[in-house]
Structure 1
Amino acid sequence: MGSSDSALAAERLRVDGVLVQHFRESGLSGPLWDQFHRQLLARGLQIVARLVSSGAMFSRCGQQGRYLQRQDIPPQEAEELASDAVFEGFVYFRDRGLLGKEWSVDHELPLTEYFVNACVLAFPNVYRRWQTRVNGWQDVRLVDTLASLENVVAEGTPEDAVIEQQAVDAAFAALSEDSRRLLFLHDQGYSHAEIGELLRLTPRAVEGRIRRARLSARRHPDEER
């Protein structure tokens, strides 16, 4: 690193130190914090999304001693995994780095890089939850069952509606607990943002998970209907 680069890095750290001191004194509140918060999340999501989609995230995790069994991730789900990692990484960054005073100028690590490292540390748990959910999904046709129930209630007999409701209950029970919770809140009229606040997810992640929960189930045994 040349003298010019060293000077720029030192100035960047100095500015970060001033910012952090202000944030800590203000209790992470105020317009400056709000602006910094938004910019940090946006920048972090760009970086982490590239790491996940390229597969470089697995190498970064390995460098941190967190080795993962790599599995192909569809592009859309890679973005959702990145979003979750950024959210959970920010919690670490906020609670430990800023409020817990883990970050300091002496570490010679700019805030953005510290935040990305926090997201890398958060990724293994996010990835393992995704693996469990994907590999454990039940193959049931929930959407078709719900649509069929609406038709039966409108046109069929009460007995038909009871039978169809039992099929819906069985399909709903076959979903994971997270998927059931998401669908329940969604059907109760909660917005994606409201669900995100309750479950500590981004609205975009909520939208994707609701979509996957409804489409995850592709076959419901006829004998149960």
Structure 2
Amino acid sequence: MHDAACNDTERRAADSAERLRRDLDLFNELERADFTGVGWDLFANELAKYGIAVMVVWMRTHRIFTECARVFSGRLGKKFGLPEPPHDWTDEDRADLSALVVTKALTTFKRQALIGGGWSASRGAGLSTYFIGTCIYEFPNLYTQWLAQRAATLQQGKAEHATGTIGTPPVDPAAAVAQADHADRALARLPDRKTRIVVKLVADGYTQDEIAEALSASGFPSATKDAVRGVWQRHVKRARTDRGVDDD
């Protein structure tokens, strides 16, 4: 029995060492290409898919809150906690928030872990493990922003219901959508999930290339920079039409 346990431990250690060697080879290959090109795109896409899958499950099971408390309590030297999610937190909410977290984490991971040298195989964590740690780091701010926007939307809805009026729309829909403070209200009127992701990420200042990566990782494999531009242009045109503004 003791020999079997030792063999199992040795096997796990060997598997871990082999994964780290593969990750180091991959890192060196990506570094030679300056973390750009087809190789980077493939790696980022696979990493994003993995990150979204983990984040969705961790949000559904509430494990993400435990992980954030563990990480940030250690960093801050005091107890850390986040507000509980609303009881009507939907799968769609979690999927959209996961895409935002992973998109932000990819940018941070590339800048700090890869280009900045924050990741090292000698420290024992693989690339995917390090990336999930980056997602944990980015989650609290994006989650609290989402909660605040949701609360503002609900409050606005109550006020409009009480008065029987609808708030005055902004003069310029394109500029208005770029204001993150009222993003939830704008997002609630959008026709599909792809448009919601694009509009939210445009409002948060992401580039078209970064948004294309997020869409690809969120179940839209044909997403490109041109596709993102098309979704945004259709959204702006639809917003103007809804307001009776003639583009001509």
Letter aligned with residue 114 of structure 2: L
Consecutive unaligned residues in structure 1, runs of 5 or more: 146-166, 215-225
Q: State, as a whole percentage, how many aligned pairs show the same letter.
A: 20
CA contact (8 A) 1:172 1:180 kept: no
Consecutive unaligned residues in structure 2, runs of 5 or more: 1-7, 73-79, 219-227, 240-248
Structure 1 range deviating more: 17-26 or 192-201: 192-201
Partner of 1:91: 107
Partner of 2:85: 71
Report whether the alignment pairs 1:37 with 2:49.
no
Letter aligned with residue 110 of structure 2: R
Mapping of 1:159-174 within 5 angstroms? 170-172=168-170
Structure 1: distance between partners of 2:136 and 2:183 = 28
Deviation at 1:55, TM superposition (A): 0.8
TM-score by length of 2: 0.62
**Partner SS, residue 125 of structure 2:** coil
What's the C-alpha RMSD, in Å, of the aligned pairs?
3.6
Partner of 1:127: 143
Structure 1: distance between partners of 2:137 and 2:109 = 11
Partner of 2:24: 17
Deviation at 1:67, TM superposition (A): 2.0
Structure 2: distance between partners of 1:182 and 1:33 = 35
Deviation at 1:169, TM superposition (A): 6.4
Report whether the alignment pairs 1:56 with 2:70.
no
Deviation at 1:74, TM superposition (A): 2.4
CA contact (8 A) 1:53 1:79 kept: no
Partner of 1:27: 34
Deviation at 1:32, TM superposition (A): 2.0
Partner of 2:242: none
Structure 1: distance between partners of 2:118 and 2:81 = 24
Partner of 2:10: 3
Deviation at 1:50, TM superposition (A): 0.5
Q: Deviation per CA, 1:158-196, whole angstroms, max 9, x where unpaired? A: xxxxxxxxx7761558x9932469959x99xxx948654
Partner of 1:154: none
Closer/same/farther in 2, CA of residues 136 and 181 from structure 1, 3 Å limit: closer
Structure 2: distance between partners of 1:58 and 1:168 = 36
Structure 2: distance between partners of 1:131 and 1:96 = 27
CA contact (8 A) 2:150 2:184 kept: no
Structure 2: distance between partners of 1:67 and 1:181 = 24
Closer/same/farther in 2, CA of residues 77 and 180 from structure 1, 3 Å limit: closer
TM-score by length of 1: 0.67
Report whether the alignment pairs 1:115 with 2:126.
no
CA contact (8 A) 1:61 1:124 kept: yes
Closer/same/farther in 2, CA of residues 180 and 18 from structure 1, 3 Å limit: closer
Closer/same/farther in 2, CA of residues 136 and 67 from structure 1, 3 Å limit: same
Closer/same/farther in 2, CA of residues 131 and 182 from structure 1, 3 Å limit: closer
Structure 2: distance between partners of 1:69 and 1:182 = 21
Kindly tell me the number of residue pairs found equivalent between the two proteins: 180
**Partner SS, residue 168 of structure 2:** helix
Structure 2: distance between partners of 1:181 and 1:131 = 10
Q: Deviation per CA, 1:99-120, whole angstroms, max 9, x where unpaired? A: 1110001110011111111001
CA contact (8 A) 1:44 1:115 kept: yes
Find the structure with the greater CA-based Rg: 1
Deviation at 1:197, TM superposition (A): 5.5
Letter aligned with residue 138 of structure 2: A
Structure 2: distance between partners of 1:182 and 1:22 = 44
